[in-house]
Amino acid sequence: MRSPKQWKPKEIIVHQKVKHDPSTVFFLNQCQGVPVKYVKSGKASVVIQASDILRNAPDGMLNKVLAGKSVVFIGPAGQVIDDFTIPDTRLICPHFKRLKLASNGCFYRCDWCYLKLTIRGQRPFISVHVQYEKIKETLRWALAATNSPVFFNSGELADSLSLEHLTRAGQTFIPWFGQSWRKNGYLFMLTKSDNVEDILNLPHNGHTVIAWSINNDLVSRKFEIGAPSFERRLQAAWKVQQAGYPLRLRLDPIVPFDGWEKAYAGTVERIFQKVAPERITLGTLRFEEEFYKMGNKKRNKIFTTGADLPKMLKTMKPMFKPKVFAGKQRQKIGKYSFSEQDRVRIFGFVIQEIRKYSNCHIALCKESAEVWNQLGLDLSRVRCVCQLDYADMSQ
pLDDT tens-digit map of 227-251 = 999 999 999 999 999 999 999 999 9
Which residue range(s) make up the domain with 271?
A: 78-374
**Considering the domain boundaries, does residue 153 fall inside one?**
yes
Query: To which H or E segment does residue 354 belong?
Result: helix 340-354
The mean of the pLDDT values for the chain is 93
pLDDT tens-digit readout, 118-128: 666 689 999 99
pLDDT tens-digit readout, 254-269: 999 999 999 999 999 9
Note the pLDDT of residue 321: 87
Note the pLDDT of residue 53: 98
**Considering the domain boundaries, does residue 158 fall inside one?**
yes
Note the pLDDT of residue 327: 60
DSSP, collapsed to helix, strand or coil, labels residue 266 as helix
When mean pLDDT is compared across 3-12, 169-178, 299-308, the lowest value belongs to: 299-308
Note the pLDDT of residue 21: 98
CB atoms within 10 A of CB 282: 23
Cite the beta strand spans of 40-131 per DSSP E: 71-75, 81-84, 91-92, 96-99, 102-103, 109-110, 126-129
pLDDT at 96 over 70: yes
Note the pLDDT of residue 329: 55
**Considering the domain boundaries, does residue 314 fall inside one?**
yes
Note the pLDDT of residue 2: 46
Strand 331-332 and strand 323-324: the pairing is antiparallel
**Considering the domain boundaries, does residue 341 fall inside one?**
yes
Phi, psi of 181 (to 5 degrees): -75, -15
DSSP, collapsed to helix, strand or coil, labels residue 265 as helix
**Considering the domain boundaries, does residue 199 fall inside one?**
yes
DSSP, res 9: -
Instruction: Find the CATH number of the domain harbouring 313.
Output: 3.80.30.30
**Considering the domain boundaries, does residue 274 fall inside one?**
yes
Burial class (CB in 10 A: 0-12, 13-18, 19+), 188: buried
pLDDT tens-digit readout, 22-72: 999 999 999 999 999 999 999 999 999 999 999 999 988 788 889 999 999
**Considering the domain boundaries, does residue 297 fall inside one?**
yes
Please answer whether residues 268 and 353 qualify as being in contact, where contact means their C-beta atoms are separated by less than 8 angstroms.
Answer: yes
Q: How confident is the model at residue 385 (pLDDT cuts 50, 70, 90)?
A: very high
Q: How confident is the model at residue 114 (pLDDT cuts 50, 70, 90)?
A: confident
pLDDT at 373 over 90: yes
- In DSSP terms, 15 is beta-bridged to 39
CA distance to 15, 39, 65, 210, 226, per residue, from 69 (Å): 18, 19, 7, 24, 11
- Please confirm whether the linkage preceding 58 is cis (ω < 30° from 0): no
Note the pLDDT of residue 1: 40
C-alpha closest to that of 166 among 6, 39, 10: 6
Query: To which H or E segment does residue 313 belong?
Result: helix 308-313
pLDDT tens-digit readout, 278-297: 999 999 999 988 888 877 77
**Considering the domain boundaries, does residue 22 fall inside one?**
no
Strand 71-75 and strand 11-15: the pairing is parallel
Q: How many domains does the chain have?
A: 1
